[in-house]
Structures are given as C-alpha cells and as structure tokens.
Amino acid sequence: MSLLVNKYARTDFTSCEDFFENFKINVPENFNFAYDVIDELAKTSPDKDALVWCNDEGEERTFSFAEMKKYSDLSAQFLKDQGLKKGDMVMLVLKRHYEFWWLILALHKLGAVAIPATHLLMTKDIIYRANAADIKMVIATSDNDHILDCIDEAQAKCPTLTKKVFVDKNRKFSRDGWIDFHKELDHTSEQFVRPTGADATESKDIMLLYFTSGTSGMPKMVIHNHLYALTHLATAAVWQNIHKGGVHLTVADTGWGKTAWGKLYGQWMCEAAIFVYDYSDKFKPADLLHVIEKHRITTFCAPPTIYRFFIKEDLTKYDLSSLKYACVAGEPLNPEIYNQFYAATGLKLMEGFGQTETTLTIANNIYMEPKPGSMGKPMPNYDVDIVDEKGNSCPPGKEGQIIIRAERGAMHPGMFIGYYRDEALTQEAWRDGVYHTGDVAWKDEDGYYWFVGRADDVIKSSGYRIGPFEVESALMEHPAVLETAITAVPDELRGQVVKATIVLAKGYTASDELKKELQDHVKHTTAPYKYPRIVEFVDELPKTISGKIRRVQIREEDKN
C-alpha cells in the first residue's frame, strides 16, 4: 500500500464493519495536492510512471513523477510570468491532452483557480462562464478550430478575459492574439519558487470551479477548496481498489468532474499510474478494448454507457486478463449490464454515487459484496441519510431524498464550499446543516441504497410513484435496447403516463410489433402499471456535456 495513503488514512481494514467504524481521513493543516503529493513522490519515487498517455494516432508518452514535478513547475512559472496570481480564474479546454495534467498542477501550485471545461462549448457558453467567474485566462487545444473561434468571438464581450493560450505539442500552429504554450516553455525557468506569505495557499482557498452541465437552467458554479483533492483518496483506495504500481483508466474528458474522480488525485495518492487514452473521433468501443488489452490496464472505471457498448461487442476477442477491478458511476447501473459484464469477464461492477458538489458519497466499497443495481452504502466520511418531505429519516423501503448532514463553513473535506456568487441558490440546497442532493432513493433492510431518480424525474401516474430508473432497467434487459430514457407525459386521465425514448441496438428496426413486444416485456419484468404507454424510437438521446441523459429536454420537446 502507498505510504501516502497510510499518511492520510488507514485502508487496511479486516471487514466491512471495521471500515465503516474506523475509516477516517487525516486532514493536515494546509494541504496542497501538487506540493504534498506530486512533489513528494518526485522525491521518493522519481522514476516511477505517473502518467501513461496514448492517442488514436499511435503516439505514446510516459511521464514519471519527477517529470510531472518538472513540467508543473515550468507551467507554474509560465503562468506567473503571464501575470497570473493566487485567486485568478483560468479555464482549461484541453480535451485529454497530457498538458492538462501539467497545467492543473501548476494552477494548484500558484494558488490560481482551475476551471476545467469541454471543447464542445459555444460562444454564448464561454461568454456566460467568463463573465460569471471573471475568468482571466483561457488555455485551449489548438486542434479544434471551433473552440478557438468561439473564444475569439466571446472575448469582446468578456472584459476580464485578457489572456488566450493555445497548446500544440507539434509546434506547427500559430494564431493571432494567442500565446504559444510550448514555445514559451522553451525559455521559461524550471526553478519555480513556492509562494509564501499572502501568496501561499491554504486548505480553505478555492482550488477548483466546475460549471455543472445540469439537466435544466444555466450551469451552477460549484467551488471546492484544496481538501477536495485529499478526499479523493477514498475514491481510489476503497472504491476503485487502486494499488501502488497499478495502471488505472477512467473514461472521462478533462472538462468533466469525473476526471478529478478517476484520473488525477486519488490515483496518484495510491501511487498508481494514470492511463489516458486521448481519442479524437467518435468513441469506438473496439478501440478502447484494444487499448485495455495492449497496455495491461489493471483497474477501470467508466459510465454505464461504456459498459452498454462493451457488452454489445464480442468480449471473447480481447485479452482482458490484466483487469482486476471495474467500477461504474455517472448514472445508475442497470442490473442487466452488471450481469452481462460479469458473465463475460468475471468482474463485478462496483457502482458509486456522488455529485459535482461532493466526492464519493455512496458506494460498493472493496469490503462489500455488491447487489446489482444498488449504489451501495454511504461512505463513512459523510453523514448520509434518506429523508421524507418533513426531513424525517425514511425506514427501509420508503422513498425519499438523499441528504448529507454537514455544517457549512466547517471545512468538511469533499463538500463544496457553495455555489459561487449565488448565496440564494446555495441556501436553497444547503440549509440548517443539511445538503439536499435532489436525488430520490430508498434503502433496503441491509442498508444498501437504491436509486429512483432525480426528484424532478419521478413520475406520478394514477396515484403511483414511478422511478424512471426501474423502467429503464427493465427495458435494458431486452436485447433490442441499446439505450433508453424514461420520462413523464401529461395525461388528463392519469395525470402523467410513462414514455420510453429508445435507441435500438444493431440489427433491430423500429416497428409497432417491436413497440408492443417491449411494452409486454416491461409488464412481465416489473409491476405492470409501470410499462411505457408511449414508445418513441430515436437515433440518439440528448445528453449533457458530461454524458448524462437530458430527460428535461425530452419533456420540453414533448410539450411542443
């Protein structure tokens, strides 16, 4: 086990009960991940692989911990030379390029605030973000004219946005009004000096700002302090089962908060190598399976969508023997996906739950036996409960909202500080020592939590409460269904009826006969009243930037 893990938490428990009773994260006085983890590993394990990167063009790079310190120091000095200082806001639009890791560590060292973002943003998105957070600098990949054009168009309406930097590892690109990151690094000093005094970082300082993609409304600005990174030790050590010397792959773009969960903080605290597959085109499951096979990935984490695609492939064609553990998060996992993946690989998918506002909150941890379809049990570093509308704890079997009991301002590791510049929204979600997640679930007699849906997504039909996830899980058991979203449609007689929007698997064609077959399948798989009275076949489902299904968009389109 990593010495760093032992320094910040004990993870060698003898049983699940021992874990729940005794797990605790030791919080130092002033934690800064870049200095306290990466720079320390550069001293103790300088030659050990830290980042293993490849792309879909056949290029490969490997960086040791010593090199991560070197390039993060160089990047920090570059940022300082550009006038960046503690508290300044910097947006990173770098896809899966390895420079992202140099730069986010550099921002941590400097005390500036990192704002990871996707390359899919439009001009209006950048204007909103830059003005809402007073962004001073944008650092973007050069291999995407769309995002560069949008940034240029936005700048005129963003008074604080004074610096634009592009990243081009091939050094063949130029653009007026932009700074060339790699060329500047050529004559930047490696001797970055850790800031002191008022410029030094403290645990309470803002480290990260995420614009949540949301399923409705304008994105919220979630801010985290430096303790956020520390808390992801639990994510890696007791959920993803990561060990020193392993090679971990989490499927996520750097603009999504899942990168912080699976390819940055906790994995390096466990002294594992983070693997990055930097693919540029549309996701191809066969290519990713070949990468896992070739690079001998030991632990893997992905959203349910990836596993849906995997099980549609012939997994016997691939040597996945290096894989020792697999996790899933981002959306609820349908039991059928769990069962098929287990049958093909022998690996039990360990589901976890959390939000942009938190770290891992509920999980099937390494000491538990998972129940297919369950999120698992609350992590002991959070005080989690399910409550009714009056705030009373729900008994087993009763649905309610997931809440976390934590006082604001108490420096609770992993909890967000609030919604930046929006105290009203913060108070709405986090009041009287309780953070309301907005997610509905129930727990069984063994204490396992079962997801029902977002509070806004729960369907009320003829007096019944229907959770979309249960109906989606039933449909996913049918071989014709690749993806599906369950929503409510207003109905004069029943109040609401269930609608299924379905993407068909290869080899299946939409027809009235198939619609009837799928409806009957749901009737026989779950309670008959939950079957979708309306079925629509589509080529793809609307999704957020982070890959979550936008049920709100389906509902809005149904109104028109």
Q: How confident is the model over 465-479, as pLDDT tens digits? A: 677 877 888 898 899
Give the per-residue pLDDT at 169: 87
Look up residue 451 and give its amino acid: F
Q: What is the 3-state secondary structure (H, E, C) of 326-387?
A: EEECCCCCCHHHHHHHHHHHCCCCEEEECCCCCCCCEECCCCCCCCCCCCEEECCCCCEEEE
331: Cβ–Cβ under 8 A, 6 or more apart, which residues? 303, 304, 305, 548, 549
Query: Strand 89-93 relative to strand 325-328: parallel, antiparallel, unpaired?
Result: unpaired
At residue 186, the pLDDT reads 93
pLDDT of the residue at 474? 87
State the pTM of this model: 0.86
The pLDDT of residue 281: 66
Name the nearest CA neighbour of 70 among 97, 45, 49, 46. Answer: 46
Digit-coded pLDDT (tens) for 156-192: 999 999 999 999 988 888 999 999 999 999 999 988 9
Burial 51-65 (b: 16+ CB within 10 A, else e): bbbbbeeeeeeebbb
- The rounded radius of gyration (Å) of the Cα atoms in the chain is 23
- Is residue 159 within 8 A of residue 128, CB to CB? The reply is no
- β-strand pairing of 89-93 with 113-116: parallel
Q: Is 176 exposed, middle or buried (0-12, 13-18, 19+ CB in 10 A)?
A: exposed
Q: What SS3 class is residue 497?
A: strand
pLDDT reported for residue 215: 46
Which parts of the chain register pLDDT below 70?
1-3, 213-217, 281, 462-465, 544-547
